[in-house]
Structure 1
Amino acid sequence: MKMPEQNPLYLYFFSLFLVTVFVYKLLTLKKTPSKNLPPSPPRYPIIGNLHQIGPDPQHSLRDLALKYGPLMSLKFGTVPVLVVSSADAAREVLKTHDLIFADRPYSSVANKVFYNGKDMVFARYTEYWRQVKSICVTQLLSNKRVNSFQNVREEEVDLLVQNIENSCSKVINLTELLIEVTGNVVCKVSVGSGDKVDSYKILILEIMEMLGYSRSIEDFFPMFGWVDWLTGLRGKVAKAAKGVDDFLEGVLKEHLTARASNNASADNDFVSILLEIQEADAGSTMDNECIKSLIWDMLGAGTETISTALEWTLAALIKNPDAMLKLQNEVREIGKGKSKISEADLGKMTYLQAVMKESMRLYFTAPLLVPRESRQDVKFMGYDISAGTQVLINVWAIARDPSLWEKPEEFRPERFLNSHIDYKGFNYEYLPFGAGRRGCPGIQFAMAVNELVVANVIHKFNFELPDGERLEDLDMTAVSGITLRKKSPLLVVARPHV
């Protein structure tokens, strides 16, 4: 009888065993065999199909789909998951049943970092979310607003070119320079100053990693959320959330002080716009936590996704010299006699636009998009999908489907010349920005930066790999998370084009 007292671990493991058995029995009793579910790979008790998901989820899910079909029913712990791997099924989710699948699943990390779901990306589908998205689309990301920041983009791209020129004939870390130029643009547009980039970019990388598909135990097993304390995840999230809040509180205080001293000199950045909306309607949803969460959306999503897309694009061009030469010829012909490429020149560059589309097809920054969740029971393509089912759309696999794309593993910008396929969410075989209600509203902002950076860098420089490295040896390995980043930095030698 003294054994439990002498060895507390005995009680711990015995209790854990009882809880595990109870949860398993509970899950077993809740099964509804009468429902017509999509095909499913064999699953283990308790963990479901989690053991079948490797470090690159888009690869694992694509391989499973090849065996079990483009619509699969999985179980991640206690969470039912619908995996979509075809353009037709994606259309059904994002268009036909867009409203039903417009919710977001619970994420303990996002909930903590984004002020209990007050942002636009991870918030549940509610009236609050609809109001917030409307404000972002009309006040922050409209065509007029994006165009108003043209000077910011051009100034930062000029600075990028100067930094490369100053390092010519030396090995440069192009990845770091792309993060810097993107961060400066996004930071100036969002909070009015590029001086704050270093204050938040490390936080962004940490949070993006924690938001990846190797998420907390709590998200899959709510009863075992305490395990996140043992692994240290909750501590890391709490520290990151405090860092975010301290940074954003400082930004708000600076803006409020500036407005109080001279109301007529309010800046045109996102924070100032949101503060104006808050002052104009004291009863609106635009409280300080809402403002902070939306600014963090802009800083996080903008900096990470745009810089990652730029890195993949330039790496793909360097690895494919024929495509690089075609783009250089186009850009340099249009920019002949000019010291730089202006935004007015970009509309004439059809091959540049094809390069950007092909890069986003082959190297998705968000290979599974942001997960969705069904708001109610629905009959979906002949199957019964329950409310609360998480939906993963493997846009990475769809964009590499050989039935939709000729030689899909090759980088071939020509496939988009004279093609109707675009990235605005109406072609379901190609969804780099998603589609429907929860599609990314920042398309124009992102593409304005992407095209201007690539055009000017290609206009001014020729690139080589350092130390005689062969182009075919350029490492294009990716690291999976909520975004798909290049594993190794892009190191190059830049030669000025004469």
Structure 2
Amino acid sequence: MGISLLCFCLVTLVTLILIVKKIKHSKWNLPPSPPKFPVIGNLHQIGGLPHRSLERLARKYGPVMLLHFGFVPVVVVSSREAAEEVLRTHDLDCCSRPKLVGTRLLSRDFKDIAFTPYGEEWKERRKLAVRELFCLKKVQSFRYIREEECNFMVKKLSESAVNRTPVDLSKALFWLTASILFRVALGQNFYESKFIDKEKIEELVTRLNDVFLKLDDLFQRVIDDHKSPGRSKEHEDIIDAMLDVLHKQGENDSLKLTVDHIRGVVSNIFLAGIDTGAINMIWAMTELARNPKLMKKVQSEIRDNLGNNKETITEEDIDKVPYLKMFKASAIGRDPKLWTNPEEFNPERFIDKPVDYRGQHFEFLPFGSGRRMCPGMPMGMAIVELGLLNLLYFFDWSLPDGMTIDDIDMEEAGTLTIVKKVPLKLVPVRVM
């Protein structure tokens, strides 16, 4: 009797679950979804390389699919049409951000731009970023910093070139972007700063647990230094600009800027900017190292257009080399319906193709689109273009002794940003 009752209850419970599930799907007309486990949902299907896992799932379940990260439903879109639907047609409905524990820590209780939910507070901060921090005039004012740091990188690489010593290009490009952003955001020379423990910067950028307290302490000390009346400065950096806004705001302003907001925005710049620019340059140089003919072609165009006697490269030189812009972009598109052989590194696919990176062509969105489009796009592009131009103008590049093209490791690592797992090491040969 007891066993029969238990079986009846189990059958009834399973039947009710199936009925509720069917009604729920019918009511909401949800996108296709892979089977999920209790509690973890579809997390077991994501793995260590989410972009590859999501690509495989999208091939099976379509360009709009529903996943569950634990108990959190997540809609994944992976086609040009679906991206346009989300980022243009329904931009206002989709542009907010969930309040999660991790993003609360990362954003200093939602005092930043990247993770703050959509609303009046976020709109004011976004306006500050676009008008004051990353406007064209402000980005151009930092041009000499980018040029000086690239010159310093060329000098260091030239020292290795004397003895044909392999250099860790991954590390060199990370320090290049870090050096530029330290001066732009904090007004501090990376190699001379009294606040920076240089050996732990990589740890601060890549580890999440106690990083926030350490970064907050670093940023607060720099902010306090900026407030000192006798402080000498070579230029007005981003903290100066935000402190100026803070001092000018009135008592009756509805949305006040605070020091917490300054720390949040500066944190966005570092955590989003240091690695992404370097990662793009590292993958570009990796692909060129695997394609020597392509490397020679882009170098020939650069040197033919700029001449053979330049001591330094300036940002005015970037527009003289259109081929450089094409090969930076070629690693972004992945949809085989839109791109021929999308996994192949082929910059020439962009010749006479009206596809731009500024968020209006939804098959190609390196900086996103809509209200949440990356406000740091002009700064990021300037760093990547100038860095690559210096590497390819002043140096030829060869593989270390005993290494062939087939030995170049292309394994990926990371989640939100996809890094080269094995650092790229090449031998610089100074030619200019």
TM-score of the superposition, structure 2-length normalised?
A: 0.89
Q: 1:150 aligns with which of 143, 150, 160?
A: 143
Give CA deviations for 1:307-358 in whole Å, capped at 9, x if unaligned: 1111111111111112211110011112212223221111121100101111
- 1:184 equivalent to 2:166? Answer no
- 1:125 equivalent to 2:134? Answer no
- 1:32 equivalent to 2:24? Answer yes
User: Are the equivalent residues in 2 in contact too, given 1:209–1:481 (CA < 8 A)?
Assistant: no
Note closer, same or farther for the CA distance 1:202–1:111 as it changes in structure 2 (3 Å cut): farther
Note closer, same or farther for the CA distance 1:103–1:203 as it changes in structure 2 (3 Å cut): farther
Equivalent residue of 1:194, what SS? coil
Note closer, same or farther for the CA distance 1:496–1:265 as it changes in structure 2 (3 Å cut): closer
Q: Cα distance, 1:419 vs. partner?
A: 1.4
**Could you tell me which amino acid in structure 2 is paired with residue 431 of structure 1?**
L
Question: Structure 2 CA distance, aligned partners of 1:255 and 1:287?
Answer: 15
User: Are the equivalent residues in 2 in contact too, given 1:88–1:428 (CA < 8 A)?
Assistant: yes
2:59 alignment partner in structure 1: 66
Q: Cα distance, 1:86 vs. partner?
A: 0.7
Structure-to-structure mapping, 1:318-329, within 5 angstroms: 318-329=289-300
Question: Structure 2 CA distance, aligned partners of 1:68 and 1:200?
Answer: 46
Give CA deviations for 1:107-133 in whole Å, capped at 9, x if unaligned: 322211321011111111121110001
1:393 alignment partner in structure 2: none
Question: Structure 2 CA distance, aligned partners of 1:32 and 1:178?
Answer: 50
Structure 2 unpaired stretches of 5+: 1-12
Question: Structure 1 CA distance, aligned partners of 2:282 and 2:391?
Answer: 12
Structure 1 unpaired stretches of 5+: 1-20, 211-236, 362-398
2:73 alignment partner in structure 1: 80
Question: Structure 2 CA distance, aligned partners of 1:41 and 1:200?
Answer: 45
Question: Structure 2 CA distance, aligned partners of 1:31 and 1:120?
Answer: 39
User: Are the equivalent residues in 2 in contact too, given 1:204–1:304 (CA < 8 A)?
Assistant: no
Q: 1:449 aligns with which of 383, 386, 408?
A: 383
**Could you tell me which amino acid in structure 2 is paired with residue 113 of structure 1?**
L
User: Are the equivalent residues in 1 in contact too, given 2:46–2:54 (CA < 8 A)?
Assistant: yes
Give CA deviations for 1:234-277 in whole Å, capped at 9, x if unaligned: xxx2x2121011101111111111xx237x96940001110000
- 1:350 equivalent to 2:331? Answer no
Question: Structure 1 CA distance, aligned partners of 2:317 and 2:396?
Answer: 20
2:350 alignment partner in structure 1: 416
User: Are the equivalent residues in 1 in contact too, given 2:399–2:427 (CA < 8 A)?
Assistant: yes
2:230 alignment partner in structure 1: 261
Equivalent residue of 1:444, what SS? helix
User: Are the equivalent residues in 2 in contact too, given 1:113–1:240 (CA < 8 A)?
Assistant: no
TM-score of the superposition, structure 1-length normalised?
A: 0.78
Give CA deviations for 1:437-475 in whole Å, capped at 9, x if unaligned: 011011111111111111111111111111221113211
User: Are the equivalent residues in 2 in contact too, given 1:160–1:181 (CA < 8 A)?
Assistant: yes
Structure-to-structure mapping, 1:308-319, within 5 angstroms: 308-319=279-290
> Moved runs in structure 1, 4+ residues, more than 3 A?
28-31, 196-210, 264-267
2:215 alignment partner in structure 1: 244
Q: 1:273 aligns with which of 238, 241, 245?
A: 241
- 1:440 equivalent to 2:371? Answer no
Query: How many percent identity over aligned positions?
Result: 35
2:268 alignment partner in structure 1: 297
